[in-house]
Chains A and B, each alone.
Chain A
Amino acid sequence: MDEDELFRAYRRTGDQALRNEIVERNLHIASILAKKFVGRGVEYDDLFQVASLALIKGVERFEPDKGLKFSTFITPTITGEIKNYFRDRSRLVHLPRKVSELRALARKEAEEELTRTGKKPSAAQLAARLGVTEEELLRAEEAGSVVSLDRTVDDDSENMSFYDVLASGGDAYENLENRDAVISALKELSGQERAVVNFRFGQELSQAETAKRMGVSQMYISRMERKILEKLRENLKKSMAE
């Protein structure tokens, strides 16, 4: 069956197997588009997941009789969803810390300016306001590889945390304090949550691989990861305040 026939058959019957086949045949589009947006601070796996969900939604909305190819129809849909995801999602901790802080400050400043004047500031204006060079600001924006606080800490907390190896400003005491904060924040997690942290950030497995090892769906891992990050953020706040 060609693509148009598949769509028509799916519209006629509502058969989920047909829908799945359409999605599988077009999953490469989700993959191609997800790759185009790598390097903006979100992992490929997450982008691919967002793109795949947009693909499934798009299959429901596509009308084959309108004469448009599905790939032409779905590309703007997926692109829109990815851009929305970038807008909505904020990350826990970025590396190195100075870069992370600069990125966050730049976003905040840009949003405030937009609220004040209805216009987003240029990189030059932002850099001037933040007291950094344009190059520093652009480099911070270019920094794509982002790692969470818990990256190298596993269940028994024997490993070094990232603060031990990637110091910002060389403040060893601060590093030690932060490491302790991470360790105590991790202690508050359940065994299953710590396993997810270990697989995802210790062993750097993808969400899909983590799901496979734990015998659950990727979606479950994704939701759990978000919950864990929220929990860690809260725990960190608490332990920093103590």
Chain B
Amino acid sequence: MRTLLELTMPLESGLMTTARLATGGVCSLAGLDLDTSEDCKVCLTESLLLLMHRGFSAVRVRFFEDEGLLVRAAGTGEIREAGEYPEDEISFALLGALNGSVTTAKKGGKLAEISFRFAK
């Protein structure tokens, strides 16, 4: 499993496009087709939003080439107060709808990492 890119960034709405563009480039490196790349970008955006809503101020996203692309997004940095976001439920459902392999990990009882894999 080869690491293609590690991206550490503040969890801010203004940086979502940057994260999406980086994801598009990495998807291409991993050999994903264009439709799958678009789905991968949506999944990453939703993951970042979910982590942001849990109070993480930054995120470390790692992209691995592994018969496709494995993405791991882990919340890092200072913890801000988490809010109530009813649309999170939609984000989880959307992740599940676009990718059947989504896994989550908790830290201190709180969602802290989201992983998903897209096959070539």
Contacts and interface: CB of A to CB of B under 8 A. Distances in A.
A127 to B, nearest CB: 8
Given A79-B98, A138-B25, A122 B90 contact: no
A76 B97 contact: yes
Nearest to A126: B34
Given A32-B90, A33-B94, A76-B93, A122 B32 contact: yes
A92 interface: no
Given A33-B90, A40-B38, A122 B31 contact: yes
B97 A142 contact: no
B90 to A, nearest CB: 5
A117 to B, nearest CB: 12
Contact of A75 (B25, B38, B90): B90
B84 interface: no
Contacts of B87: 32
A110 interface: yes
A71 B89 CA distance: 8
A72 B89 contact: yes
A123 B33 CA distance: 6
Interface in B1-48: 21, 24-25, 27-38, 42, 45-46
Nearest to B21: A142
Interface string B86-107: 0101101110111000000000
Contacts of A119: 120
A106 interface: yes
> Quick one: which of B42, B92, B97, B120 has the most chain A CB within 10 A?
B97
A123 B98 contact: no
Nearest to B31: A122
A36 B94 contact: yes
Given A120-B33, A122-B33, A72 B28 contact: no
A75 B86 CA distance: 13
Nearest to B28: A123
Interface string A24-44: 000001001100110010000
On chain A, which size bracket covers the interface?
Answer: 20 to 34
A54 to B, nearest CB: 12
A86 B38 CA distance: 12
B118 to A, nearest CB: 12
Contacts of B97: 75-76, 79-80
A141 B34 CA distance: 8
Contacts of B25: 138
Interface of B: 21, 24-25, 27-38, 42, 45-46, 87, 89-90, 92-94, 96-98, 120
Interface of A: 29, 32-33, 36-37, 40, 69, 71-72, 75-76, 79-80, 86, 106, 110, 119-126, 134, 138, 141-142
Given A33-B90, A72-B93, 19 more contacts: A32-B87, A37-B42, A40-B38, A71-B89, A75-B90, A75-B94, A76-B93, A76-B97, A79-B98, A80-B97, A86-B35, A110-B33, A110-B34, A119-B120, A122-B32, A123-B34, A123-B37, A124-B28, A142-B24
Which are the 10 A-B pairs with shortest beta-carbon distances?
Answer: A75-B93, A120-B33, A122-B31, A76-B97, A123-B28, A79-B97, A72-B93, A141-B34, A75-B90, A71-B89
